[in-house]
Amino acid sequence: MSDISKLQTPNSKLNLAERDKKVIWHPYTQMKNALPHIPIVRGEGVYVYDENGKRYIDAVSSWWVNIHGHANPHIAQKVAEQLNVLEHVIFAGFTHEPAVLLAERLLPILPGKQDKVFYTDNGSTAVEVALKMCLQYWDNKDKPKTRILAFKNAYHGDTFGAMSVSGRSIFTDAFNSLLFDVDFIDLPSEGNISHLTSYISHLTDTACFIFEPLILGSGGMLMYEAKYLDELIIACKQAGILIIADEVMTGFGRTGTYFACEKLSNKPDIICLSKGLTGGTMPLGITTCTNEIFEAFLSDNKLKTLYHGHSFTANPIACVASLASLDILLQKETLGNIKRIEAKHAAFLLEIKAHPKVKGVRQTGTIIAIEWETGNETSYLSNLRNLLYSYFLEKGIILRPLGNIIYILPPYIISDEDLDYIYEAIKSALEEI
């Protein structure tokens, strides 16, 4: 008894980073030579604070999820209230107000006409569901199609299906032989669009086209124009290919409109959402679809059922957090903040784009990316990336460069002063590194 209770007490001689090192395996981290992980004790607005009281500006919205910053009081209050009412219930055979209300509020503001919400609990699973919906849609219609179209540098998540439709990279290297075969195309541009549309017109066995609209996030914040995506979608629709917009990163205001697909004339059949959905408070994933897709699963034949679900499907706390996050997103003030960030970003890029160390700059809405001149060395593993990461941390800014690409993807409440502080830090990095 006493031995067990001793084991349950943390070793008080070690600090949190040391205790972490003994028991935790962190994501995307080579643990052999990892720097100590910084213990964060609280968050407020755009800031998080470590155990020594040092303040960090969260300039990447903690992996793109905290769109309204940290510890938002409105979201916190709604979540706290829900905790005392219903924390969770099985979502097969049962339903609850937060899940229904979230679907009722979300569907009308999505681009095009989306009719049904399918809940999961993260972005990768939202993508898995979208892929399964498409593949089984064709199967249920007795016109099986087995191939999928995607972009070369895409990132759709880390589960096997999501990895398969993502670009092959160091992230997938150990698994490439097990990933299913996908037809990858380049990002569209004026130079290749007619080639791409003609290629698509010849596809006969393709179930769906999955893409990150306007900007490929993890692939390096690679941006492309809505008008060319529109042309790809038209070609796909003509070839009988279903359209999946992976708005996991771009959703909820990130690109300047509530959803990136609002900038398209041709709308997707399926939309994947996660990241900003709950304002970064809880994990939740959503896959929405049209009635056209949904109805292909209605049958007396049980085999036509979508057999997919997760233990935490439609968790009520997560749904309530999403509703509260939506309240804030839909306030005029938030859209004003998004426009303010867009304008400041644009002015900053103008200022630095001619710098000799800047290879290129790009912007979509509240996201800017600055590509560092490196000569040939551009891999994620490059030393430059680690230098930059540490440099900004030192200055109290969380920026996680993707290789030689620095990007800012801030919470919408970030102040002009904090944006200026980040811009100044980038300018001094350009001089010093």
Ligand X SMILES: *Cc1c(COP(=O)(O)O)cnc(C)c1O
Which residues participate in catalysis according to the annotation? 28, 155, 246, 275
Spell out, one character per residue from 129 to 168, where the chain touches ligand X: x when CB under 6 A holds, - when not: --------------------------xxx-----------
Q: Which residues share a beta bridge with 117?
A: 288
Residue 127 sits in the site that holds ligand X (CB under 6 A): yes
* Residue 155 or 392 with smaller CB distance to ligand X: 155
Q: Give the β-pairing of 367-372 and 397-398.
A: unpaired
Residue 279 sits in the site that holds ligand X (CB under 6 A): no
Q: Which of 296, 299, 259, 290 is nearest to 275 (CA)?
A: 259
Residue 425 sits in the site that holds ligand X (CB under 6 A): no
Residue 254 sits in the site that holds ligand X (CB under 6 A): no
Q: Are 67 and 411 in contact (CB under 8 A)?
A: yes
Residue 212 sits in the site that holds ligand X (CB under 6 A): yes
Eight-class DSSP state of 384: H
Judged by CB under 6 A, how many residues of this single chain contact ligand X?
14
Q: Which of 253, 248, 207 is nearest to 364 (CA)?
A: 253
In the chain, the amino acid numbered 303 is L
Spell out, one character per residue from 218 to 247, where the chain touches ligand X: x when CB under 6 A holds, - when not: ----------------------------x-
Residue 270 sits in the site that holds ligand X (CB under 6 A): no
Query: What is the nearest approach in angstroms of ligand X to the Cβ of residue 99?
Result: 19
Rounded Cα distance between 148 and 138, Å, is 12
* Residue 45 or 188 with smaller CB distance to ligand X: 188
Q: Between the CA atoms of 321, 280, 267 and 158, what dihedral angle is there, to the nearest 10 degrees? A: -120
Residue 217 sits in the site that holds ligand X (CB under 6 A): yes
Query: What is the nearest approach in angstroms of ligand X to the Cβ of residue 113?
Result: 22
By CB under 6 A, name the one of 274, 290, 322, 364 that touches ligand X: 274
Q: Are 231 and 197 in contact (CB under 8 A)?
A: yes
Q: Return the residue nearest ligand X (CB atom).
A: 123
Residue 249 sits in the site that holds ligand X (CB under 6 A): yes
For residue 371, the SS3 value is strand
Q: Would you list the DSSP string of 14-38?
A: S-HHHHHHHH---TT--TTSPPPPP
Among the residue ranges 123-131, 315-323, 326-334, 414-422, the one whose residues contact ligand X (CB under 6 A): 123-131
Rounded Cα distance between 157 and 150, Å, is 13
H-state helical runs in 220-312: 226-238, 291-295
* Residue 60 or 326 with smaller CB distance to ligand X: 60
Residue 248 sits in the site that holds ligand X (CB under 6 A): yes
Residue 287 sits in the site that holds ligand X (CB under 6 A): no
Q: Are 374 and 387 in contact (CB under 8 A)?
A: no
Q: Are 171 and 153 in contact (CB under 8 A)?
A: no
Residue 47 sits in the site that holds ligand X (CB under 6 A): no
Query: What is the nearest approach in angstroms of ligand X to the Cβ of residue 427?
Result: 28
The binding site for ligand X (CB under 6 A) comprises 122-124, 127, 155-157, 212, 217, 246, 248-249, 274-275
